[in-house]
Structure 1
């Protein structure tokens, strides 16, 4: 176990993230232009979507329907698990929903780092796992917002079930705001992932000669640059997280471990390989800092970004990158 963690710590991907973290903590003048960070993010989303679509084209529906159903179910369950655990620190409803949506959704960069880890260790994985990233983005956001609506109506003293009927029956009342649904299904990250996935699925292997020079050969190098910029952001967010006490800091480590265990068990139940189980664990353990925050800004503006975004970037992201990924790999190895 210690050898796996040390090997991961010494990989260029992790070391450049640590470099960015140190630069932020010592208040270096190192900065990434916002446009460059945005460009790198778009690159990673397209690259993972394309590779997932091309690999998915090699499988029949019969081979992938179980992973698809399991992934959607896991993504829907995670926010409920998070809300249950968060009760112990008595966080207010809006911020608890913020954590549920953030930790139920996925971090595309953590997933990319996990792929690099598996490639480095020589462990294979099911190609369709890249498609599962897309499927895991939205369920947690939607479930979290539905729970929020139910809680708000309960607090107002209304009957939840009759309120649902009114909401769906009345043309003037909506259970979920259209803007929320639009962000959950057509936000930048999901649109790019899903679009690239469909393009890869339609074109299959014939697309490889076209996309390989940019989206395959340069993937690891672009990931390094992006993680350097994420190190800077994570370092800047750390003071914000510390303001809310040690219990919240611990949740930034507890939540990914719980999610990772659920991910490994899900992968085991649907007969994934060691690499596939590790990636499923990473999907369940990571926290979104693109799709979920964008939806939360629209639908739950009262939720404090320094809590859900600060915890995701300042604590969980570094934990997963340095210790979490090898830990979930070891969990999967023990189970197998």
Structure 2
């Protein structure tokens, strides 16, 4: 595990993230144009979705796919309950704030997922292509659980009425038609339909540039995380910051149990751990701005993007891969 952790820390993708993080913390004027960052995000989502669809087309559909989807939905719905309970104990957050943060830790970070697949590819470890579909299925349930937690905690009637009348349609739109999910599922479907023959036609676009684009994208993510650390300074206490490290480990353990129970490959178990450990900072923040506008976004963005994401990228991923190999015997 130490060898893998060192190799990961010295990999181009992690060092690119560190460069962006250091530049932001030192207040450098280094920036990545928003249009470029958006283009890189679109490319990565399309590439990972397409390759996942090709893998399913090559492997075929079986019962394991359906069980994996159900397992992912279950984890996404249950993990926010654990996160909510931990936050209420470890921090001074209100029930509404804790529920908003908890939603992020049941949903997933697609960038962490992409980084995890890159590590597995570099080590030659196989994984099931349908894990892309599992990632997409894990976006929405956590949000619904968080809203249930808020209702159960007894929000005021006025807040309830406002959320129901103004936010329901917008929230469903954010969750079900979120651009990253639409692109991921769409690319997955295209890869599934066209199969290996389709991949052969665009191999030079999908495969060769992937690692380089990922490095530049993580440079930008480092810049964003560094700015988040600066902006969120003083917003969170030590208990909340500790939660940002503890909760990913709990989520990873849950993913390990689920992947092992399903009999997935080493890579499949590792990716289930990555999905359980990651925290959303794209889809869920957008949904929370609509559903719970009274919660300060700096709280959940600082935790998910400036604490949990760097931990997963630098130390978490090697731990998850090593544990997956140990449990599966791979």
TM exceeding 0.5: yes
Give the Cα–Cα distance (whole angstroms) in 2 for the partners of residues 92 and 130 of structure 1: 34
Give the Cα–Cα distance (whole angstroms) in 2 for the partners of residues 45 and 212 of structure 1: 15
Count of residue pairs the alignment pairs up: 322
Write out per-residue CA displacement over residues 181-202 of structure 1, whole angstroms, 9 at most, x where no aligned residue: 1111111111111221222222
Q: Which residue of 1 aligns with 2:33?
A: 33
Q: CA deviation at 1:38?
A: 1.1
Write out per-residue CA displacement over residues 161-192 of structure 1, whole angstroms, 9 at most, x where no aligned residue: xx9xxx9xxxxx77971111111111111111
Secondary structure, counterpart of 2:108 in structure 1: coil
Q: Which residue of 2 aligns with 1:312?
A: 304
Q: CA deviation at 1:149?
A: 3.0
Give the Cα–Cα distance (whole angstroms) in 2 for the partners of residues 175 and 81 of structure 1: 29
Q: CA deviation at 1:78?
A: 1.2
Question: Does structure 2 retain, via aligned residues, the 8 Å contact 1:56–1:131?
Answer: no
Give the Cα–Cα distance (whole angstroms) in 1 for the partners of residues 49 and 223 of structure 2: 26
Match of 1:198 among 160, 173, 189: 189
TM-score, normalising length: structure 2: 0.92
CA gap 1:206/1:152 in 2 versus in 1, 3 angstroms: farther
- Return structure 1 stretches of 4+ with deviation > 4 angstroms: 173-176
Secondary structure, counterpart of 1:287 in structure 2: coil
Query: Is residue 187 of structure 1 aligned with residue 178 of structure 2?
Result: yes
Give the Cα–Cα distance (whole angstroms) in 1 for the partners of residues 195 and 143 of structure 2: 30
Equivalences for 1:29-68 in 2 at 5 Å?
29-57=29-57, 58-68=59-69
Question: Does structure 2 retain, via aligned residues, the 8 Å contact 1:108–1:133?
Answer: yes
Give the Cα–Cα distance (whole angstroms) in 2 for the partners of residues 264 and 240 of structure 1: 34
Give the Cα–Cα distance (whole angstroms) in 2 for the partners of residues 52 and 311 of structure 1: 29
Equivalences for 1:292-303 in 2 at 5 Å?
292-303=284-295
Bigger mean CA offset, 117-126 vs 77-86:
117-126
Query: Is residue 261 of structure 1 aligned with residue 253 of structure 2?
Result: yes
Question: Does structure 1 retain, via aligned residues, the 8 Å contact 2:88–2:95?
Answer: no
Secondary structure, counterpart of 1:90 in structure 2: coil
Equivalences for 1:98-137 in 2 at 5 Å?
98-137=100-139
Secondary structure, counterpart of 1:5 in structure 2: helix
Q: Which runs of 5+ in 2 are unaligned?
A: none
Query: Is residue 219 of structure 1 aligned with residue 210 of structure 2?
Result: yes
Write out per-residue CA displacement over residues 252-273 of structure 1, whole angstroms, 9 at most, x where no aligned residue: 1111111111111111111112
Give the Cα–Cα distance (whole angstroms) in 1 for the partners of residues 217 and 199 of structure 2: 24
Give the Cα–Cα distance (whole angstroms) in 2 for the partners of residues 241 and 291 of structure 1: 20
Q: Which residue of 1 aligns with 2:239?
A: 247
Give the Cα–Cα distance (whole angstroms) in 2 for the partners of residues 192 and 206 of structure 1: 21
Give the Cα–Cα distance (whole angstroms) in 1 for the partners of residues 151 and 38 of structure 2: 32
Q: CA deviation at 1:288?
A: 0.9
Secondary structure, counterpart of 1:334 in structure 2: helix
Q: CA deviation at 1:27?
A: 1.0
Q: Which residue of 1 aligns with 2:228?
A: 237
Secondary structure, counterpart of 2:105 in structure 1: helix
Write out per-residue CA displacement over residues 273-327 of structure 1, whole angstroms, 9 at most, x where no aligned residue: 2211111000010111111111111111112111111111111111000000011
Question: Does structure 2 retain, via aligned residues, the 8 Å contact 1:145–1:176?
Answer: no
Q: CA deviation at 1:152?
A: 3.4
CA gap 1:36/1:175 in 2 versus in 1, 3 angstroms: closer
Query: Is residue 210 of structure 1 aligned with residue 201 of structure 2?
Result: yes
Give the Cα–Cα distance (whole angstroms) in 2 for the partners of residues 196 and 83 of structure 1: 34
Q: CA deviation at 1:91?
A: 0.9
Q: CA deviation at 1:206?
A: 2.7
Question: Does structure 2 retain, via aligned residues, the 8 Å contact 1:142–1:181?
Answer: no
Q: Which residue of 1 aligns with 2:78?
A: 77
* Aligned-pair Cα RMSD in Å: 2.0
Give the Cα–Cα distance (whole angstroms) in 2 for the partners of residues 28 and 11 of structure 1: 23
